Amino acid sequence: MPFQKTIKSEIALSGVGIHTGKRINIRLIPAQRDTGIIFYRTDKGLQIKAKLPFVIDTSFATTIGIDGVKVRTVEHLLATLYVFGITNLIIEIDGSEIPVMDGSAQDFVKLIMKTGIAKQGKTIPTLKITKPCIYEESRSRIVARPHKGFRITYKIFYEHPLILAQSLSIEINEQNFLKEIAPARTFGFLKDIQYLLQNGFARGGSLENALVLDEKGVVGGKLRFKDEFVRHKILDAIGDLSLLGYPVQGHFIIEKGGHTAHINFLKHLVESDCYELEEEPYFNFYLSVQTI
């Protein structure tokens, strides 16, 4: 079993929320073992655990919340924490959304690498997929299979000449994440902007923090990878899978997924007999989680 970890010193950063358009300040604060990942809304005086039962919305981002208080767009930061093995952290935030930074996880990676990671003297169980678990909804299909490591195979299709069908299968570890996944940016389509704005989304979106596509290609920028779109989907999936609350061992095959499909799959998984833990059963833990 891996050891629990936190960061060596505090990290402060600020930026714009891609959906709210508001300037937000956050602080990442080292936490004692067995704390977990906690978001603390300093403007509301309320804590929210980064756990599956606290997911309240999956529209264009993953949102966690309780008692009417929420934190949106948690997936990029959570993916970074997961890959570094950080299990205990207090995230103070003075607004309702994690800053989007440049649309990828690169800034979070750089800050955590700069401050360093502290191993704590207690282990954490690994959630191991023991037999295939299949989930299907609408056009999405997700399968988890036993695997000695943590691998994601992602397949997407968009009717756009720059995307069409893209797929990538990659072992998720620190080296691969830093090089192949963390730099991949969120993306959207110019034709959808009006709808998004009218419905309270993308108010902070710009060419500085997202890949925007018109009918032919990227508006005002260049791709970091030819298949940057599917790589970003993998980034999102890592962040969503981290909401299980444990390191994961398995191969996840995702076809035409998204935040809603990811979260619905996880709910299906924890109610199945397709996994095991080395300590207490996850299902009991899932039912008993509470806000600190």
Q: Return d(Cα 235, Cα 189) in angstroms, integer.
A: 19
Q: What's the whole-number mean pLDDT along residues 149-161?
A: 96
pLDDT reading at 290 higher than 80 = no
Residue 163's pLDDT band, with cuts at 50, 70 and 90, is: very high
Residue 239, CA distances (Å) to 80, 213, 235 in order: 8, 24, 7
> Domains plus CATH for the chain?
3-125 (3.30.230.20), 127-276 (3.30.1700.10)
At 180 the three-state DSSP class reads helix
- Length of the chain, please? 292
Per-residue pLDDT of 26-76, as tens digits, reads 999 999 999 999 999 999 999 999 999 999 999 989 999 999 999 999 999
More confident residue, 155 or 217: 155
Bridge partners of 24? 15
User: What are the catalytic residues?
Assistant: 259
Per-residue pLDDT of 1-26, as tens digits, reads 799 999 999 999 999 988 788 999 99
Identity of the amino acid at 133: C
Q: Return d(Cα 144, Cα 134) in angstroms, integer.
A: 7
Torsion angle of alpha carbons 143, 147, 152, 154, nearest 10°?
-40
Half-sphere exposure of residue 175: CA atoms within 13 angstroms, side-chain side: 1
Q: Let me know: does 190 contact 211? Beta carbons within 8 Å.
A: no
Q: Let me know: does 232 contact 104? Beta carbons within 8 Å.
A: yes
* Cβ neighbours around 287 below 10 Å, total: 10
pLDDT of residue 97: 96
Per the annotation, where are the binding residues for Zn(2+)? 76, 232, 236
